[in-house]
Structure 1
Amino acid sequence: MTAPLLPPRVDVTQDTGKDTLIRLVRQEFKDCFEMLVEADEKQWHTQTPCELWEVRDMAGHLLDAAYGYLGYFRQGEHGWPTEEPRGMRAYGDALGISALEYRKVPRWEVLGRLDACATLLFDYFDRLSDEQWTAGPVPHAWVGPVPGFMMAAFQLMDYSVHNWDLRKALGKDDYVELEASDTLVPFMFGLMQITFAAERAEGVDLTVGIHLSTSKDEHWTVRVKDGALTYEPGRPKKPDASFSFPCNEFCLDVYQRTRGGTAFGDKKAIKKFRKLFFTI
């Protein structure tokens, strides 16, 4: 399946792309919040594609994340000390469990807190100066200090993918919104890099081509060698394996929600590459 081509992608890592990224985050939050409010009590307890979570736990996670981000911004404003980043290996399990704590809180209180925290968080995004947007730094417990745009990008990842989870759980058409997924494409390669399981790559030497039907017909090269993963724009000359995706399927694939796209090349290389990532 080929996704429709979109308008040219805005570089949201630059201050000129700030309004675009914040607009997308707000829209994805709005879509998410409406689904959570409209869910009936049975749906509130429905299992989602995330193994640990029901719909109510998805709300708890999003509240937990927004609350944490508010703390990061305030910590940065005061210049308070930060701990060493905890790393993404522990991220999935830790946040998976912390979301369950909100089962102790009544549903409408959870949603009230989420609405309030998200509003405050998006106001922080709005107030970031051009320098703070592109350089920051804002402390982040799991990955370390990041520029301001990454805080908004993390939120767009969260809402875009979890909106797919919610649509799936609630029996709606399951999709990732196209402009959001196109905007996230460069960030997905960064996510591949930080979820790369180096211990599974011992002796692995692979060149992988990734073709994306997005706002442009684009190609990326991913290299796995010496226990590290690197990536860059452009088509590889002699890939061991290649994958072709619409941009929304690519986001779901990187998050290991689905095995999307079409694979080409050596079957062993395809299988080997697929196994080089841990889930968050």
Structure 2
Amino acid sequence: MPTNRDLVALDAEAVRTSVDMVARATAGDLDRPTPCAGWTLRDLLGHMAAQHHGFAAASRGEADIAVWRPRPLGDDPVGAYREAARHVLEAFAVDGVAQRAFPLPEIRDGGPFPGTQAVSFHFIDYVVHSWDVARTLGRPVTFDPELLDVALAVARAVPGGEARSGPGAAFAPAVTSQDGSRLDEIVALLGRSPAWRPVSV
């Protein structure tokens, strides 16, 4: 695994990639289905923005579950998402953030979790969500090999079994991946089919 500083930098790279992908969406794309079962792109953006706000609050030691709930994205969902991403990037850029204890009320018993582990949770989410958005829009997404190496290690460490099947599970059970890319392997480990395509694309 990378150093704490490197993990924060890799997380920032994943978040910036998600912003770049979201910026490609138009108003007509917001009702498209996504690889997240039952969610449109609008739903996914609401979730992604809420997670940014939640993790930013957790980095300051705040444990209010209300912060984690999706909020209306208004007339400019892309802009609202970009602002949420800016918020978490600024929060994680504070010196020593990876050494802090993060209360994460949506995960298991709520923690607190070691900062490095919490940042790794956020990091893997935004690698996968960048793929979700890209696949929804029918566009490619790429990451540096170093980032994918770390993301694969994190994905392999995510617990399986019943934790993947209950209500509100963060990830679906792993699916079989044919010999595809490193990113394909990561998303398959976390319950997405690398072959997923929206019907309309």
1:52 pairs with one of 23, 28, 38: 38
Equivalence for 1:140: 104
Higher strand share: 1
Equivalence for 1:170: 137
2:156 pairs with one of 186, 189, 197: 189
Shift of residue 19, structure 1, vs aligned partner: 3.3
2:184 pairs with one of 249, 260, 273: 249
Code of the aligned partner of 1:114:
Y
Unaligned runs of 5+ in 1: 1-10, 84-94, 201-242, 261-280
Query: Aligned to 2:93, what secondary structure does the other structure show?
Result: helix
Q: Is the 8 A contact 1:161 1:176 kept in 2?
A: no
Amino-acid identity (%): 20
Choose between structure 1 and 2 for higher RCO, CA contacts under 8 A separated by at least 6 residues.
2
Equivalence for 1:180: 147
Equivalence for 2:193: 258
Unaligned runs of 5+ in 2: 166-177, 196-201
Q: Distance in 1 between matches of 2:180 and 2:32?
A: 30
Q: Distance in 2 between matches of 1:69 and 1:245?
A: 31
Q: Distance in 1 between matches of 2:101 and 2:79?
A: 29
Q: Is the 8 A contact 1:128 1:148 kept in 2?
A: no
Q: Distance in 2 between matches of 1:117 and 1:173?
A: 23
Equivalence for 1:19: 5
Instruction: Using structure 2 for the length normalisation, give the TM-score.
Output: 0.72
Equivalence for 2:20: 34
Q: How does 1:66-77 map onto structure 2 within 5 Å?
A: 66-76=52-62
Q: Is the 8 A contact 1:138 1:145 kept in 2?
A: yes
Instruction: Using structure 1 for the length normalisation, give the TM-score.
Output: 0.54
Q: Distance in 2 between matches of 1:31 and 1:74?
A: 24
2:83 pairs with one of 116, 136, 139: 116
Equivalence for 1:125: 92
- The two structures, once aligned, show a CA RMSD in angstroms of 3.1
Q: Is the 8 A contact 2:59 2:101 kept in 1?
A: no
